[in-house]
Structure formats: C-alpha cells, structure tokens
Amino acid sequence: MINIDEIGKAFSDRFGHAPELIAQAPGRVNLIGEHTDYNGGFVLPVAIEHRIYMAVSTAGDNVLRFYSMNFQEEYRTIIKDQPLRKAVSVDWANYCIAVIEELRQTGIKIPGLEVVIQGNIPIGRGLSSSAALEICTGVSLRELLDLNIPDKELALLCQRAEHSEYVGVECGVMDQFASLLAQKERALFLDCYTLEYKTVPFPVEQAEIIIFDSGVKRELVETEYNQRREQCAEGLRLVRLALKKDIPTLRHCSPEEFESIQSLIPEPVRSRVRHVITENQRVLDSVRALEQGDMNAFGQSLNESHASLQKDYEVSCEELDTIVETAQESKYVFGARLTGAGFGGSAIAIAQPESVNEVINKVSKVYEGRYNRVLRYELTKPAPPASVLHYSIR
Ligand code: GLA
C-alpha cells in the first residue's frame, strides 16, 4: 500500500514545504475488447487498485523538477519558448513532459513545478502504468492551474502525449479513459468511435480479478503493436473496396458483411480483421451478460476473446497461453484471457472469491513446473478513477 503521508514527507524533505496537492491515477485491466479501440470499436476496462500518486506544487521560476521515489531519480528541465527537451535515459519523466508539452501546445502557460511521484503499478506488464502517469500529471495540472478541461478532452490530450515523440506509442484511447473515467465496482463500457461511455456493474461479491504476470516483458514500442495497427488500416482499405462502401472504421463492418467478403482479403490481414469484428460483438455480449448478472456467459466471452487473440490476432505467447488455459480448466474460474496489448504482459482470470487461492496455486504449479520461475500475480476489484486527493493553498 502506498502511504500518502510518506509522499507528502518526501516532498517536504526535498522542496522544504508541503505540496499544494496530491493526486492519484490508477492502472487498468481490460476485461474484454482488445485491439478494438484504435479500430473505432468497443472496450470494457476496469481501473485497478494499483496506482500512481503525485505530490505537486508550482514554483516561482521556470524549472520543472520531477523526483521518482520508485526510481530514486531526479529529472530537471527548464521551460523555454521552444518545445521541452526529451529526457534522455530518464524514461518515466517523458510521460510527464509529454503531457506538459501537449498542454503548452493548447496555449496554456506552464509555470515551474515541483513534483514527487510514487506508484505501485507493476511496470511493463500491460497494466497501463504509462497512462496512469500521464493522467496523474493531467489531473494534477488541471487542478493546480485551474484549467477548464473536461475529462474526455483530458484523456484525449494524454493519448496524444503517448503518441508524441516523447513516448512514441500509437495507442488507442482505452487506457487513458479507463484511468480517468472508470468507476469503483463497475466496468467502463466505452465506444471508441463516438467516445460515449457508460459504466456497468461488476459483481465484486461473486468475482475477483486475478492478474497473472506472464514474466515476458515487452516494451510496446519495440513490439508488433504498431504493425498490427497498420494491418488493420490495410484491412479497412480492403473491406471498403470489397463492400464498395466508405465505412469510417472496421467497427462499421458487421459480422455478416465480413462473412460475405472475407475470402477477398488475403492473410494475415483477414484474420486480424476477423478478430476485431468478432471482438466487438463479444464486448457487446459481455456487457449484456454483466447487466444480467450472468457470469458464466461473461466468462465464456472472455475465453473466446483469448482464442481469437491467440489465433487470429496472434498477440499471445506460450506463457500467456499456459496461464490462461490452466485457469480456464478450473471450475472456480468464469473466464480467463490475456489483457492489454499482449506479446507478453498480463493475463486475467475472473474467479470465485472464496477459491482464489486454489486457482492461484493451480496456475502457479503448472507455470512454475514449465518455466522454472515463480508466477507473480496481483488481485484486484474494479477500483475508483483518478482524482485529486488533497489540495491546500500554500
Ligand atoms: C495497449 C494500448 C491500448 C489498446 C491495447 C490493446 O494497451 O495502449 O490503447 O490498443 O493495447 O487492446
């Protein structure tokens, strides 16, 4: 557990006064709807209990000072007229700088800042620690500088920050929206085309989310994530040609339409498109199942999602498959799948709360037997979104 007082104290020790505010932002797991966000589709993430905290004050100069308690590392840079410089070999600082630079691009004047950061979101496991850091920076500065930026706009601004040269990942909108807009004990159903959303109940009495770490660490930029995006763009071009319709995104092609034209699309693009189109339908089915309290139907969709990510989208790996397949065999598990971009990272299993230990033991035994390393896991329930926790004028 992160202790807010500890962050406040670290801030005072470093800067000689209390912070003006402390904000927090969660990581996320996506229950279902993978690789659909950048195709105008549907997603259903939850915020997790693991989060990033940030103590912040304005300073009377033009220096940005960041300190990470996790990395025990400081980064300083001076605000000049030109864009901020990218931090070399202090990767975490670039997420904050990217958001600050996006705010500057909209004409907002950023003063000198003092910032202390601490978090407990495991990094590089597909739990969106980067989006949490961006959103935490965004909500802090919105409050501190009294900016009138609605939530949706702030989430989009943080997404642009992730696309920028400071980070360089062409992510969709899911992670930033989840961190800012998800709700406690609910999942966020987001239409990534219209950006309309609603929350749906997640039965915390009946189901616990186990997050398993595959142990395979891949940085998004270095993986095939951007390549999948390109394949989908090519898929959209071919679907438009085949349907003779200028549909705006793959989401606008129905499963029936896809059936009728799929033979015209060469592999692997055909399989990529099939995943996206069937996954959107599975999200809609999952939302209905949650609303009706049908956890078995919900779990079934999750299992099918994994199979589709494994075979059609080809973003799973052996370790993820081992975890997911072993979890799925348990009678205490409603469903299991990889979560996030894939290529390593995490898998989730939705399990009956009283049998969580049994499930973890079973999956650990198989995983550890096969890979000869300890299986790490986290437990979570759908948790509250980003917020400013404490605000005091100096
Ligand atoms: C990453 C991206 C998201 C989304 C997922 C895959 O987490 O940041 O925008 O595309 O991958 O669903």
User: Could you tell me if residue 119 is inside a domain?
Assistant: yes
- Which atom in ligand 1 lies closest to the alpha carbon of residue 34? 12
Q: What is the value of pTM for the model shown?
A: 0.96
Residue 175: active-site member: yes
User: Could you tell me if residue 344 is inside a domain?
Assistant: no
Q: Are strands 63-68 and 112-119 parallel, antiparallel or unpaired?
A: parallel
In 3-state terms, what secondary structure has residue 23?
strand
How many angstroms is it from 35 CA to the middle of ligand 1? Answer: 6
Q: For a pLDDT cut of 70, what percent of the chain falls above it?
A: 98
Domains of the chain: total: 1
Nearest Cα neighbor of 235 from 197, 201, 203, 266 is 266
Our answer on whether the CB atom of 265 is closer than 6 Å to any ligand 1 atom is no
User: Could you tell me if residue 94 is inside a domain?
Assistant: yes
Q: Over the stretch 136-195, which tens digit does the pLDDT of each residue have?
A: 999 999 999 999 999 999 999 999 999 999 998 889 999 999 999 999 999 999 999 999
User: Could you tell me if residue 311 is inside a domain?
Assistant: no
In 3-state terms, what secondary structure has residue 336?
strand
How many angstroms is it from 175 CA to the middle of ligand 1? Answer: 7
User: Could you tell me if residue 264 is inside a domain?
Assistant: no
Q: Whose CA is nearest to atom 8 of ligand 1?
A: 171
Our answer on whether the CB atom of 38 is closer than 6 Å to any ligand 1 atom is yes
CATH code of the domain covering residue 62:
3.30.230.10
- How does pLDDT run along the chain (394 residues), one tens digit per residue? 788 899 999 999 999 999 999 999 999 999 999 999 999 999 999 999 999 999 999 999 999 999 999 999 999 999 999 999 999 989 999 999 999 999 999 999 999 999 999 999 999 899 999 999 999 999 999 999 999 999 999 999 999 999 999 998 889 999 999 999 999 999 999 999 999 999 999 999 999 999 999 999 876 556 688 899 999 999 999 999 999 999 999 999 999 999 999 999 999 999 999 999 999 999 999 999 999 999 999 999 999 999 999 999 999 999 999 999 999 999 999 999 999 999 999 999 999 999 999 999 999 999 999 999 999 999 999 999 999 997 665 4
Q: Over the stretch 264-288, which tens digit does the pLDDT of each residue have?
A: 999 999 999 999 999 999 999 999 9
Our answer on whether the CB atom of 41 is closer than 6 Å to any ligand 1 atom is no
How many angstroms is it from 176 CA to the middle of ligand 1? Answer: 10
What does the chain come to in residues?
Answer: 394
How many angstroms is it from 16 CA to the middle of ligand 1? Answer: 40
Domain that holds residue 178: 4-201+385-391
User: Could you tell me if residue 133 is inside a domain?
Assistant: yes
Residue 360 falls in which region: left (phi positive, over 0), alpha (psi -120 to 50) or beta:
alpha
User: Could you tell me if residue 351 is inside a domain?
Assistant: no
How many angstroms is it from 30 CA to the middle of ligand 1? Answer: 9
Round to whole Å and give the CA distance between 145 and 56.
11
- Which atom in ligand 1 lies closest to the alpha carbon of residue 128? 7
- Omega of the bond leading into 268 within 30 degrees of 0 (cis): yes
The whole-number pLDDT of residue 219 equals 63
Q: Which of 29, 35, 121 to mutate for ligand 1's pocket (most ligand atoms within 8 Å of CB)?
A: 35
User: Could you tell me if residue 172 is inside a domain?
Assistant: yes
The whole-number pLDDT of residue 394 equals 47
Our answer on whether the CB atom of 37 is closer than 6 Å to any ligand 1 atom is yes
CB 302 within 8 A of CB 199: no
Q: Please state, in angstroms and as integers, the Cα–Cα distance from residue 60 to each residue in 86, 108, 110, 137, 185, following that order.
A: 23, 17, 11, 19, 41
The whole-number pLDDT of residue 220 equals 57
- Which atom in ligand 1 lies closest to the alpha carbon of residue 130? 8
Q: Which of 32, 174, 224, 338 to mutate for ligand 1's pocket (most ligand atoms within 8 Å of CB)?
A: 174
Our answer on whether the CB atom of 35 is closer than 6 Å to any ligand 1 atom is yes
* Residue in 37, 175, 213, 312 annotated catalytic: 175
CB 349 within 8 A of CB 364: no
How many angstroms is it from 5 CA to the middle of ligand 1? Answer: 33
